[in-house]
Structure formats: C-alpha cells, structure tokens
Amino acid sequence: MPQVFAWSDRECLDFMVEVRFGSWNTVGCPHCGTTGKHYWRPLQKRWKCAGCGSTFSVTSGTVFASRKLSLQTIIAGTLLWLNSAGGQPALELKRHLNVTYNTAYTLQHKLREALVRGYNQGPLAGDLEMDGAHQSGRRAAEKRGKPQGSRPVTSETPLEELSSILTQAGKQKAKRKGPPKGVVDPEYGRRLPEDRRIVMVVRQRSGKKGKGANGTRVAIAMAETATEAEGILATYAAIPESYLNTDSSPAYASVGKSFLAHRTVEHAKELSGPNGENNNQAEEYNWRYDRAEKGIYLNVEPKYMLDYACEVAFRSDTRRLPNGQQLRLALNVATNVGESRFWRGFTRGNHRSHELLHAGPRLAKASGPAKGRLPGLATRAPF
C-alpha cells in the first residue's frame, strides 16, 4: 500500500506545492505570473496574489482545475497509475481508489494529456533512431477474402471446401459497402484498413552501453511516407547536429541526407548491421506500445492514440527511476501545462472531435452515444 494513503491533508498540500512551484516561497500566480510568497488563506486553502489580488489554489490553472477529488486521491491515483508498469486499465484504478469509472478514466486521461502537451515536446539531438509501426485497425480486414492460416488452398483441397471458402469471401466482399476508405501503404501498395494509423517514434540513444534510449518523441501518421517522416523529424530532431538510424523503409531515404549521417539496417536480412547499424531502441518502443494496446487498453481509438503513445514514451523513458521520482515528474508536467482542454466536462459530453495527427487535426469518427451536450463546449475548436 503506498505511503501516500497515510498522508495528512497538509502533507498532500506540501507535496503538491513542491512538485508544482518548488517551494512555498516560489509560488507562481496562474493569473499574472508573479512569483513569490503571496498571502495564504488557510481556511479557503487558497492564495491571494500579492501582484494582482486574484485568488488561486494549488490546482488552479492545471489539468486538475475545478477538481472534485481530494489532493490525496489525485496523488495516490497518479502513483498507482505509474506503478502499473505496462499501463493500467481505468477499471483497475476505479477499484483501487473506490471512485466511479468515469472519474478514474478522466484522471488517467488528464495525465496523458499533460504528457502530450508537456512531455512530447522539443527536438532530440545526437544519435537518433526512427521507426513507424502499424497500429489499430483490424488486421483481419487485410486478410478478408483470402484463405489464410489453417486452411491453405492447394490442388488437393476438396471441391466442396473450396467452394465454401470462396462463397464466404464473396459474401464478406458484398457486405462491404461503398469504396474502400483506408489510405494506400506507399511501401507495399496495399490499401490499409480504415482505422489503421502509424505510430512514428523518434528516440535518442543515451550513448551508454546497456542503458538504451533516454528520450522519446511520438507522432501519429496515416502512412509511413517521406512527407510524414520529414515533418516529424523537422519537429522532433535537431537535424544538423544528429545522426539518423532507421530500417530500410524508403520513407527515410531523402530526409536522411540532411543528417550528419544516415545508417540503415535491412530487417529482411538482419537485426543489426556489421557496424552496429540498428534501430533497436525504436523497435523496443514499438513492442512496448504494442503490448499496451493489445494487452491492456485493448481498443485504442485513433483519436486518442497520441495520448496512449505519449504515455508509453514516458513509461519507457522513466523506466529506471524510482516511483517517487516518476510521480514527481508526472505531477510536475500535469501542473505546468495549463488547464485540460480535452477532458474538462468529458462526462457532460464535451468530447474531443478531432484526431491529433502530426500533419494536422482530422475529424474523428463519432464514438459512443452523445450525452447532454453543453452548447458552449461542444463548438470549441479542437486545440
């Protein structure tokens, strides 16, 4: 049982002040930015700003603004979320904290949103690796109409079985209405399933043997193309100061020329080239994301994919830190990115309308029944 469950209200407050502001003497007013001691009002548990006179609490202007949860529940919830090393279902957190499912789900997503806006930022430099992994969208859709697996079709296949396979394929094809919607994969020329997205990852090697990567940036793309790779690297890599390591995908060929050097490994032949060419850290991230999506979150909608990808990046980068330090880091990010834009009023129907693709927001498919919409919130811009 984490120690935080035994903390008093005052200890929880002290902890939040420390992770957000550093100390009681360096409190920053979220309204005007004045940093200092301010006037603490113990009954209201709020400061009155010495600069502008407005009042604020330790969670004003953070993703937890207008909270109904106690500080203790927020701190404990964050810690329990981090302690589940591979990811944590909202159902598990609901049971640990004895809150409703929506409360646990929204708390986790506010932490993810903070990582999207406060952690997945800024260029990496040095020895970089990049890769793209196909995620989401049913694989079965690619195989549809083609006999697979345990029923290979050979010249010995009995006629009645063959006809049953063909009729099934025909029926499934007829069921699909309208033209196919997914984009065409530029490398293999196949049409991808409609919900398929590519998680593109840029990782920075730590340079220490056996220590892996120490910085990760992620972005979501519709396909692994040269345009997407260039855009993502322009955002997340200090190109003139860096080396690029990738697999032999054609997406990286032209942008690779702008780097100090571009090393490629041909995965069809080997995992690592004779001179250490590999993108194993990027692959390690892909495996991690894959396990989180398939083993824990089960069905990541494309519109929330970036959030989950950032969560996996944070977990991977902080994997060697003690959990107390992970907690401080996560709460520091969550209290310094401003208020939540995506999860305030979620249970009242204020849902994100767009997918956060790197190339720009894309209108997302509606999901779930619409709840009583607030007229002011529903029409807000996606960012």
Strands (E), the chain: 27-28, 35-36, 39-41, 46-48, 55-56, 127-135, 197-205, 213-221, 243-247, 261-265, 354-357, 360-363
Identity of residue 262 = H
Question: Quick check: 54 and 43 in contact, CB under 8 A?
Answer: no
Identity of residue 161 = E
Kindly indicate which of the ranges 32-40, 239-247, 289-297, 338-346 contains the residues binding Zn ion, using the contact rule CB under 5 A: 32-40
Kindly indicate which of the ranges 22-30, 66-74, 275-283, 347-355 contains the residues binding Zn ion, using the contact rule CB under 5 A: 22-30
Question: Quick check: 297 and 84 in contact, CB under 8 A?
Answer: no
Question: Quick check: 105 and 181 in contact, CB under 8 A?
Answer: no
Question: Quick check: 185 and 293 in contact, CB under 8 A?
Answer: no
Kindly indicate which of the ranges 46-54, 189-197, 198-206, 263-271 contains the residues binding Zn ion, using the contact rule CB under 5 A: 46-54
Among 5, 52, 163, 367, binds Zn ion (CB under 5 A): 52
Size of the site for Zn ion (CB under 5 A): 7
How does DSSP classify residue 235?
H
276 binds Zn ion (CB under 5 A): no
Among 51, 122, 295, 324, binds Zn ion (CB under 5 A): 51
221 binds Zn ion (CB under 5 A): no
Query: At closest approach, how far in Å is the CB of 54 from Zn ion?
Result: 5
Beta bridge partners of 204: 128, 215
Query: At closest approach, how far in Å is the CB of 44 from Zn ion?
Result: 16
93 binds Zn ion (CB under 5 A): no
Among 29, 200, 300, 309, binds Zn ion (CB under 5 A): 29
Nearer to Zn ion, 56 or 304 (CB): 56
Kindly indicate which of the ranges 52-60, 168-176, 199-207, 296-304 contains the residues binding Zn ion, using the contact rule CB under 5 A: 52-60
49 binds Zn ion (CB under 5 A): yes
SS (H, E, C) 95-146: HHHCCCHHHHHHHHHHHHHHHHHHCCCCCECCEEEEEEEEECCCCHHHHCCC
31 binds Zn ion (CB under 5 A): yes
32 binds Zn ion (CB under 5 A): yes
Nearer to Zn ion, 34 or 157 (CB): 34
Helical spans, DSSP H, in 22-49: none
Nearer to Zn ion, 17 or 364 (CB): 17
For the window 308-337, what string marks contact with Zn ion as x by the rule CB under 5 A?
A: ------------------------------
Instruction: Record the tokens describing residue 204, joined without a space.
Output: 């920075």
Residues in touch with Zn ion (CB under 5 A): 29, 31-32, 34, 49, 51-52
